[in-house]
Structure 1
Amino acid sequence: MNGEASLPQQRADSNPASTSVEPRRPSFLTSHGIHTMRAHNRALSAAALISLAVGRVALGGGATFEYIPNAISANDMSPDGRFVVGSLTSLVEGEEVIYRTYRWDRVSGTILVLPQPGFSAVAVSDDGTVIAGDILDPETNAEVAAIWHLATNEWTALGGLPTGLLCPSRSNSYEISGDGSVVVGLAWADGCKGRAFRWTEATGMVQLELLANDGNRASVANAAGSFVGGFAQGTQSRTPAVWTVDGGMTIDPTATAVGEVFGMNDAGSIVLGTMDGKAVKWTNNLTVQTQLGNGSLMAGWVGTPMDVAGNGTIVGFDRLGPSRRAWIQVGGTGPLLNLKSYLEGNGLSFPTNMIIGICQAISIDGSTIVGHGATGGNGAWIATIDAEPLCPTDIDPPGGDGVIDGSDLGSMLGFWGPCPGCEADFNGDGTVDGDDLGTLLGTWGVCAGAPGACCFGSGCAQLTQGECAAAGGTFLGAYSPCNPTICDNNDLCADAIDITAKINGGPILADNSAATPGQFGGEDTDLPEGSPTCQWALEPWAAHNSIWYRFEAPGNGIVSVAICDVDFPVTANDTLVALYSGECGSLVEVWCAEDGCLDQEYNSVLQFAYGLEPGGTYYLCIMNSGGWFGSLPGTFAFSITSP
C-alpha cells in the first residue's frame, strides 16, 4: 500500500549474512555489528500534543523541502499525505534511554507524541487512527509487535508465536492494512528463527507459510492486508517472496535470486523490490518483471524501491555500505533521478554538498514524499511538489494543449465581464477584464512550465524543462511525449532504427536537434556524394542533422513517407527525406523529397516510392536542408505507409 512499511531493520534474524539496511529505530555500531539500544520501560500516562513549526530550509518554484523538528525518522505516511509517523530523538536520563514515537497531523499542524511503552511507529492506517509499531513487554522486556489506537491512546501487544516464548524478541511490526485491522511482520519461533506473520483481532498472530530455506519475513501488504510481500532465506541469501492467507511462493521458483520485496501499491498489482542488486517492479500477477531505469541511480549500488504513487511514480534509494542516495522515477518510466536534483529542477536550492538519503513513502497523488537521512538537518524530512496547474491560461481546448495562443484568447474573451469562478478569471477577482488579458498575453506561446520528453541517452522521462536540466537530460519541448524511439541515437547509418513493424502503423516520434553533425553546414559522410538530389539548385551547403531508419520493403514494393503529423509538438522546420538502397558506406539514392506537407509548408512528403524489391532492406534518412538559416532541427513525427 502507499506509505508501505519502513525499511527493514538489520537484526540477528533469519539471514545474518545479508546486506544490512536501515534500522527502524535508533541503533549504534559495535565491534560485533549493529545492535539495537534497549530502553527500560517507562510508562507515560498520556501522549503529549505539540504544535509543530516545521523547519523549512528551501522553498520556491512550487516545491518545498522541510525538516520535521526533533524527528529522526519518517517511516510511513497515509495515502492522502495527511499523517506521518516515525521516531523522535530519544531522551536520556542517567542510564535510562526513553524512546519517543510520533504521529504528525499535517492538517492541524500538530505532533502527537505517542505514549510508552511504544518505542517504534512504523506504519499508519489510511485515516491515521491506528499505528503499527513495537513495544517492550512490561513483564519480560522482550520486543513485541503492537498497535496504537487514537480512541484509547494506548498500545496493545500483538503477542508472538507459541514456539517463540523464550526468544528475547517475540515479534516486530512492519506494515498495517488501510483500515488498520491487519498487521504483518516478523515473529520468532522454532528455536528463535524468523517467521512471517499476519495478525487480525479475530485470528490473532498467524504464521504464514514457511518458504524456501527457513528465515521468512513479511515486510509489506496491500491496502486490504490480503496480499503480503517480503523475503525468505534462499539458496544464497534473501530471496523475494509473497503470500496470501492461503499460501505463499518465492518469486524466483528456484529461490536462488537475491533480493526482497519492499513495497506495493494499494491494489497489490504493482510490487516493488530488489532482484540481484537491481531495483525492479513486478506486474501482471508477478509474471512481468521490469527493471527500474538502470536498476540503480549509481553504478554498483543496490537500488531499493519503496513506494509507488497512483500515477506510477516510484520513490526509493540506492545503498552501498552505510551510504544512501534518494531517487525518484517520474511516472514509473525512464531513468532514476536523484531526488535532490529533481527538487532543484522544481525551483529549490540546496547546499552543494547536501545529500538526501532515504525515500520511505509517497502520497497517492504523487505530491508528497517523506523520508530521512538528509545531511544538515534533524534527519526526518518531507518534500512537496505543487500540484497547481502549470499553465492556468491554457484553457482551450479543455485540459490544455501546451500552447497559449489565439484559441485561448478567444475563449477568454467569451467570458468577458463579471464571471465569478470562471476559468478565465486568472486573478480570482470575479471579473474577466484587462488584468486577466494581460496575464494571458504575458504567457503567450509554449507553456514553459509544462512537462515534456527528457532524454537520457536512449531513456526518456516526462519532466519539466527545469527538472530535465537539473537531471542532466535533453529537453524535447513542453508536452512532447516519451516514445520508444524518440530518444534513440540513430545519427549514423550503422545505427539506423528498424521501422518495418511501423509500416501502416502509428506516427513515429523523433528529434534530430542533437544529431551529429549538428552544426549548420555539417556534412553527413554516410550520404553518397551529390545526395540528396532534391535540395535546392545551386545549394552551397550540405544537409545537416540527419537521422537514419531502415525497413524491409512490403510485398507490393511501394511506400510513402510523410513528415506531416501535427498532433505532435513540431519544432523542426524545413526537413527533407531521402530513400536509399544498398549498404551503409555504399548507398544508392532511390527517391528524395523536399517540402509538400499541406499544414507544414517546409516539411516533406515522399509520395509513393515504387519499384522497391519486396523484402529488400532500404534506408531512410530524414534531415534538414542546407542553404538557409531557417532550416532548423527539432521534434517532429512521421509515418510510413504502403497501399
Structure 2
Amino acid sequence: MKKIYSIALVICGLSAANAQVFDTGNMMQMTDVSNTGVAVGNFAGGAAHVMWTEGSGTATIGESDDQISGMTSISSDAKYVSGSLTNPATGLEEMARYNTTTQVWTFLGTLSPNAGSSAWGMTSDGSTVVGLGDFGGYLGRAVKWSQATGFVDIGTTVAGSSSRANGISDDGSMVVGWQDDDYGDRFGVYWKNGVQTHLTDTNGEFVGEAVNVTPDGKTIVGANLDNIPYIWTETDGYTELLQEDPMIEGTAISVSDDGKTVIGYLREWGTGALSGNGFIWTKETGALDLNEYVLSLGLDDLGITFALPMSISPNGKYITGIGRSDSGYQGFVIKLLGTLGTNNVNAAKIDIYPNPVQNTLYLTNADKIDNVEIYNMVGQKILSTNKVSKEGLNVSNLTKGAYLVKVKTGNQTETVKMLKK
C-alpha cells in the first residue's frame, strides 16, 4: 500500500547569508550551546573547560588537576556554566558552577568529605545542576544541587548498584538518567517528584540510558539497550529511530526546548566514537544525515564530518559537537539563523508521495495543478514546470537533501517540504 504524506507547512528555513559553520579548534570537545550561540566543552584528553563565542573564539575558563569527568553545560542565556573541577580545598573532583559575568567557579558539594562528584546536566536557567556523587566502593548516586536545597542525594532503587542524573526539567520535578541493576545492566529512568520510574518500549521492556529532557519534562531522548536512538514523549510514548542496516547503532543526545528537533549520532556497530555521522531529526522529516543537511543549506562544512553532535540550543538555532577532519578531532558550531522567504505560504495541506522520494514524486489532484516549483533550502529555484500528470514528476536528477515544493492552483499557492534520497 502506498504511503501519502500530508504535511501542513510550518517552515522555519535557513538563510545562507546568516547561517555558518565554525571550527572551534583542534581536539576541542564541545558539549553544549546557548540560545546566543555561546558553546562550551573541554579539551580532549585534558583537564580544561573551554568556552567559544563567535566574536572571541575559544578560551579556557577553568582547569582541573586531572582529566575532566562529566559534561560541560551552559544556561540558555550563557550566564552559567556547569562542569567538574578539582576543589583545591579537598583535592577531589567536584561538581561546580561558573558565573560568566564574575568569572568565578563555585564548588557545589559531595556526598561525603572523602568522595568526589561530577556534573552531567543543568536547568536551562542554570539554577540547578545534576550529576553523580561518589558513594564509595566504586558506586555512584544520582545527585542534584540548587541554591535552595543544597547538595541532594536522589538515590538508587537497587542496593549495591549505581545511578546517575543526566538532565533535569526547569521546575526540577523531572530528572532523567540511568539506574544499574544487580547484574550491571544500565536502564533509562526518570525521577518524577523524587519517585523513580523505568522507561519502557512498546512491549513494556526496559530501555537504555535517558540522556536528556526538555525543560517541560515532556520529552526524553536516549538509546535502548541495543544502542538504537529513542524518543519518549508524554503524549506519543516511546519511538525508536530504527535503521535499515542492523549493524548501525547510535544515540539521541539532545532535543530543542519545544521537543520538535532531536540530534544524535549513528555509526557502525563496534566502531570508534567519531567513526559515524550525526543526524538531525524532526517528526516530519525523520533522521537526516547532519552533513548532508548542512550542505543542502548551501553551507561550507569546512571539511569537518559532524560525527558527534552533542547539543542543540534550546531555541534550535545552533548545534555544537565534535567532528573529524584531516587535522584530527575538531570542535564545531553550526549556526542556523535566518528565515527562508516563501511568499503566499499557508497551512493548507498538500499530499505528496513518497517522501522521502528517489525518482518520481506524485501529487494528488495533479490535473488541477497549474504550476510546480522546487527550491533548495537556500531559496534557489531548482525546477519549474506547468506540466504535471498522474504519472508524477521526475526528480531523479536532484541531489540528496531537503527541498521546498511550491504548488500553484488557481489563486492559491501552497508549499511543503520534500526530502530527496
TM-score (norm 2): 0.71
Q: Which amino acid aligns with 1:84?
A: A
**2:91 aligned partner:** 141
Q: Which amino acid aligns with 2:186?
A: R
**1:238 aligned partner:** 186
Give 1:206 shift: 1.0
Matched residue of 1:259: which SS?
Answer: coil
Q: Which amino acid aligns with 1:343?
A: V
Give 1:256 shift: 6.1
1:268 aligns with 2:217: yes
Match for residue 129 of structure 1 among 62, 75, 79: 79
Higher relative contact order (CA 8 A, sep 6+): 2
**What is the number of equivalent residue pairs in this alignment?**
351
Checking the alignment, whether the CA contact within 8 Å between 1:297 and 1:336 is kept in structure 2 is no
Give 1:308 shift: 1.8
Match for residue 50 of structure 2 among 81, 102, 116: 102
**1:155 aligned partner:** 105
User: In the TM superposition, what whole-angstrom CA distance separates every residue of 1:48-71 from its partner, at most 9, and x where no partner exists?
Assistant: xxxxxxxxxxx9686432211356
Match for residue 28 of structure 2 among 59, 72, 75: 72
Checking the alignment, whether the CA contact within 8 Å between 1:134 and 1:172 is kept in structure 2 is yes
Checking the alignment, whether the CA contact within 8 Å between 1:211 and 1:249 is kept in structure 2 is no
**1:469 aligned partner:** 399
Give 1:370 shift: 0.6
Change (3 A) 1:99 1:179: same
The 5-angstrom pairing of residues 275-314 of structure 1 reads 275-276=224-225, 277-284=227-234, 288-292=237-241, 294=242, 296=243, 299-309=246-256, 310=258, 312-314=260-262
More helix by share: 1
Change (3 A) 1:218 1:139: same
**1:539 aligned partner:** none
Give 1:188 shift: 1.1
Q: Which amino acid aligns with 2:248?
A: W
User: In the TM superposition, what whole-angstrom CA distance separates every residue of 1:138-173 from its partner, at most 9, and x where no partner exists?
Assistant: 2443211111123432222222113xx444xx1100
Cα distance in 2, alignment partners of residues 312 and 369 from structure 1: 14
Cα distance in 1, alignment partners of residues 204 and 142 from structure 2: 17
More strand by share: 2
Checking the alignment, whether the CA contact within 8 Å between 1:313 and 1:328 is kept in structure 2 is no
Change (3 A) 1:388 1:357: same
Checking the alignment, whether the CA contact within 8 Å between 2:19 and 2:338 is kept in structure 1 is no
Q: Which amino acid aligns with 1:224?
A: D
Cα distance in 2, alignment partners of residues 233 and 198 from structure 1: 18
Give 1:450 shift: 5.8
Give 1:202 shift: 2.8
Checking the alignment, whether the CA contact within 8 Å between 2:94 and 2:110 is kept in structure 1 is yes
Cα distance in 1, alignment partners of residues 333 and 414 from structure 2: 37
Give 1:242 shift: 0.6
Give 1:313 shift: 1.7
User: In the TM superposition, what whole-angstrom CA distance separates every residue of 1:164-197 from its partner, at most 9, and x where no partner exists?
Assistant: x444xx1100111122221100111153411000
**1:383 aligned partner:** 334
Checking the alignment, whether the CA contact within 8 Å between 2:230 and 2:239 is kept in structure 1 is yes
The 5-angstrom pairing of residues 363-402 of structure 1 reads 363-377=313-327, 379-391=330-342, 394=343, 396=344
Gapped regions of structure 2 (runs ≥ 5): 1-14, 351-370, 379-394, 417-421
Cα distance in 2, alignment partners of residues 151 and 323 from structure 1: 34
Q: Which amino acid aligns with 1:384?
A: K
Give 1:356 shift: 2.3
Change (3 A) 1:400 1:112: farther
1:223 aligns with 2:170: yes
Cα distance in 1, alignment partners of residues 173 and 117 from structure 2: 20
1:478 aligns with 2:405: yes
The 5-angstrom pairing of residues 431-470 of structure 1 reads 446=373, 448-449=375-376, 469-470=399-400
Checking the alignment, whether the CA contact within 8 Å between 1:219 and 1:229 is kept in structure 2 is yes
TM-score (norm 1): 0.48
Cα distance in 1, alignment partners of residues 123 and 259 from structure 2: 21
Change (3 A) 1:366 1:177: closer
CA RMSD of aligned residues (A): 3.8
Q: Which amino acid aligns with 1:317?
A: Y
**1:328 aligned partner:** 279
Change (3 A) 1:230 1:311: closer
User: In the TM superposition, what whole-angstrom CA distance separates every residue of 1:12-45 from its partner, at most 9, and x where no partner exists?
Assistant: xxxxxxxxxxxxxxxxxxxxxxxxxxxxxxxxxx
**2:125 aligned partner:** 179
Cα distance in 1, alignment partners of residues 191 and 284 from structure 2: 27
Checking the alignment, whether the CA contact within 8 Å between 1:374 and 1:381 is kept in structure 2 is no
**1:193 aligned partner:** 139
Q: Which amino acid aligns with 2:376?
A: G
Larger radius of gyration: 1
Give 1:122 shift: 0.5
**2:195 aligned partner:** 247
Give 1:85 shift: 0.8
User: In the TM superposition, what whole-angstrom CA distance separates every residue of 1:575-603 from its partner, at most 9, and x where no partner exists?
Assistant: xxxxxxxxxxxxxxxxxxxxxxxxxxxxx
Q: Which amino acid aligns with 2:290?
A: L
Give 1:261 shift: 0.5
Gapped regions of structure 1 (runs ≥ 5): 1-58, 91-97, 403-443, 452-464, 481-563, 571-643
